[in-house]
């Protein structure tokens, strides 16, 4: 009887851990400095750095750096994760902007950058310090 109670208690504990682990693990995989090079139609290449930070409450927030243009700490108003997809929007750049990307097998993000109605492909990888 004692073994059965112990087994039931252990299974209940595992169920509780399993219920909370995926969301927490997913958010922590998205936190970090995500770096990529945007190729714009005029042939120019612009480095973008999305700095995704997890707050004490687990909520994610993002700022955008554009080193090519000397810009840093640009606020983005929304950051969310759904499954293996990262969504960033409301970046305070001319015309507004954001990013949607999905984790790939190599641990990077494959997605699209959008600004002022224009959508361009942009793949991101974690900065060396965040890997």
Q: pLDDT tens, 59-88?
A: 999 999 999 999 999 999 999 999 999 999
Q: Which domains does the chain have, with CATH numbers?
A: 2-130 (2.40.128)
**Where are any strands of DSSP class E within the chain?**
32-39, 45-54, 60-66, 71-76, 78-82, 85-91, 97-103, 109-115, 118-126
| pTM across the whole model | 0.77
Q: pLDDT tens, 13-49?
A: 333 333 333 443 334 469 999 999 999 999 999 999 9
Question: Three-state SS for 18?
Answer: helix
Contact criterion met (CB below 8 Å) for 115 and 93: yes
Residue 128 has a pLDDT of 82
């Amino acid at each position: 009887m004692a073994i059965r109670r112990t087994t039931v208690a252990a299974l209940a504990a595992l169920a509780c851990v399993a219920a909370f682990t995926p969301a927490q693990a997913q958010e922590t995989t998205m936190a970090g400095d995500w770096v990529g090079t945007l190729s714009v139609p005029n042939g120019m290449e612009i480095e973008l750095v999305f700095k995704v930070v997890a707050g004490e409450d687990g909520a994610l927030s993002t700022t955008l750096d554009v080193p090519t243009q000397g810009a840093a700490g640009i606020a983005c108003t929304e950051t969310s994760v759904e499954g293996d997809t990262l969504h960033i929007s409301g970046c305070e750049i001319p015309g507004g902007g954001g990013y949607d990307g999905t984790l790939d097998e190599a641990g990077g993000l494959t997605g699209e950058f959008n600004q002022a109605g224009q959508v361009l492909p942009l793949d991101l990888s974690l900065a060396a310090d965040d890997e």
